[in-house]
Amino acid sequence: MSREVYIGFSTTDMVEPPYRVVDIELVKQDIRNMLNTRRGERVMRPEYGTRIFDLLMDPFDEETREAIIEDVIRVIETEPRVTLLNINVFEMEHVIRVDLELQFRPQDSVDQLFLEYDRRNLQAF
């Protein structure tokens, strides 16, 4: 039995206690939180989050795609528990999808993380 390295708490997708999340699932949840928070939205943490929400209504051209990639890389680089191995950003109908391949430390496990940003659900900010 392996020893848990990272232990945390989350109510996301949890129906009942315990709300314990560990290791890779905890790190993935932390990354999801960062990439689902508008940059500047967190009190006293102006650099936390992403600017992807500011780009969703822009035409999805190479410039927008590169801006999204650069921002995701910036966010991932703040997370010492992972290394970004690959990133793919593409547009589907009304959705921008970000696929990440991540290597998790110290386990050296590789896993995928998929995020979707739906333009139809974009709230007015």
pLDDT for residue 121: 77
pLDDT for residue 5: 55
Label residue 26 by pLDDT band (50, 70, 90).
confident
With beta carbons less than 8 A apart as the criterion, state whether 38 and 71 touch: no
- How many domains does the chain divide into? 1
pLDDT tens sequence across 70-123: 999 999 999 999 999 999 999 998 899 999 999 998 888 999 999 999 988 765
Domain hosting 115: range is: 7-121
Share of the chain above pLDDT 70, in %: 78
User: What are 87's two structure tokens?
Assistant: 């990133």
| CATH code where residue 11 lies | 3.10.450.40
pLDDT surpassing 70 at residue 12: no
